[in-house]
Amino acid sequence: MKLSAKTATLLVLALLVAVTPFFFPSGYYYRVGALIFVNGIAVTGIVILTGYAGQISLGHAGFAGIGAYACALAPVHLGLHPALAVVLGAAISAAMAWLVGRPILRLKGYYLGVATLGFGILVSMVLNNERELTRGPDGIDVPELGLRTVLKDWGLELTNGQFWYFFCGLFLILGAWLALNLYDSPTGRALRALHGSEIAARTVGVDVARMKLQAFVISAVYASVSGSLLALQNKFITPDVAGFMHSIEMVTMAVLGGVGSILGAILGAGILTLLPQVLTVFAEYEQLVLGLVMMLVMIFLREGLLPSILRRLRGTGE
């Protein structure tokens, strides 16, 4: 029985989420896992934007920031339940992506990258400077989601680490499922077409501007949810979540693992999330190693790690 790529991917992810905890030496690893999943969600959005549609964003962390701070601020200032704050954050991110995307997506290549970069930095600047609202660079507390206590009342008792591990894992699988549906769908095919040749795509009737915007908005929602989950699990967030480095990390994770494939991108997220953990002993070497990894993978394994590994495993067949 040959599995479709979609089923295989979802199976791998489900297995990953369900089985790895058995190998955890301690409860701490649930936190690491949850962080990988959170990054994986953001990175799946990048796959849709950059892998499918071929558009570069160097500022997507801005949307993560919107999602994160929505969870910090909406419960306090608007009385919203944190779960609804996640939805609010996603809605605001979608709206901002739609507004900002329309002019920005007319640009290509470096220009698009820098424009998105500018957007991301502006968001992070606002979060840093508006201290009265956001407490500035020192960061702000984020209210408790409360779902774990609900589950406890229903008889399912999980530690904090376990809860967030499985909760984020679920979101990751959901996000991957949506993205995989998109790939083979009419919208996904139109996005991949405009990636291959904008002119040819236009000629077959693709409204390129509209499709790019859709990809931008969808990926912004992914980033926003990712930021929200990060804020909720840490119960604390700083403006760095919207910063330039975070945007670069998102893109790098995706491209490192293989921006064309969901699994590849999540692999990249895993590697780059684990890197600082592995290097805690050599914390001073972190930037050095990160920079080196970025350069080496892009030079020698252009398509990313996963496609290169798969190619090696399959041999030089077609």
Partner 1 sequence: MTRDSNQALLSVEGLGISFGGLKAVHDVSFTVQPGEIVSVIGPNGAGKTTLFNMISGIYLPDLGKVKLAGEDVTGMEPHLLAQRGMSRTFQNLQIFQSMTVLENAVTGYHLQERGPVLADLLGLPSSRRRARASDEGARKLLARVGLERAAEREAGNLSYGSLKRLEIARALALNPKILLLDEPAAGCNAVETEEIDLLIAEVAASGVAILLVEHDMKMVMRISSHIVVLDHGEKIAEGEPATVSQNPAVIAAYLGTEAEDAHG
Partner 2 sequence: MSELLQFLFSGVTVGAVYALVALGFTIIYNASDVVNFAQGEFVMLGGMITWFAHAAGLPLPLAALIAIAATAALGVAMNKLAIEPARGAPVVSLIIITIGASIFIQGAAQLVFDKQIHSFPAFSGDDPIRIGGATILPQSLWVIGGALATFVGLWVFFTRTLLGRAVLATSNNRLAAQLVGINTNFVMTLSFALSAGIGALAGVLATPITLTSYGVGIGFALKGFAGAMLGGMGNPKGALVGGFAIGLIEAMTAGYLSSQYKDAAAFIMILLVLFFMPQGLFGRKSTDRV
Map 128-168 to HEC letters. Answer: HHCHHHHCHHHCEECCCCCHHHHHHHCCCCCCHHHHHHHHH
Q: b or e along 5-23 (b: 16 or more beta carbons within 10 Å of the residue's beta carbon)?
A: ebeebbeebeebbeeebee
Rule CB under 8 A: which of 187-226 touch partner 2?
Answer: 199
Give 73 or 121: the residue with its C-beta nearer to partner 2.
121
Rounded CA-CA distance 309/25 in Å is 28
Residue selected from 201, 230, 267, 269 as contacting partner 1 according to rule CB under 8 A: 201
From residue 96 to residue 115, what is the string marking binding to partner 2 with x (rule CB under 8 A)? -------xx-xx-xxx-xxx
Instruction: Confirm or reject binding of residue 291 to partner 1 (CB under 8 A).
Output: no
From residue 141 to residue 170, what is the string marking binding to partner 1 with x (rule CB under 8 A)? ------------------------------
Nearest to 43 by CA among 261, 250, 304, 302: 250
From residue 69 to residue 98, what is the string marking binding to partner 2 with x (rule CB under 8 A)? ------------------------------
Mark out the alpha helices in the chain (DSSP H runs).
Answer: 5-19, 28-46, 61-77, 82-104, 109-129, 131-134, 147-153, 160-184, 186-196, 198-203, 208-234, 244-257, 262-278, 286-300, 305-314
Instruction: Confirm or reject binding of residue 279 to partner 2 (CB under 8 A).
Output: no
Give 15 or 298: the residue with its C-beta nearer to partner 2.
298
**Least CB distance from residue 92 to partner 2, whole Å?**
19
Find which of partner 1, partner 2, none residue 186 binds, CB within 5 to 8 Å per kind. partner 1
Residue selected from 1, 19, 199, 281 as contacting partner 1 according to rule CB under 8 A: 199
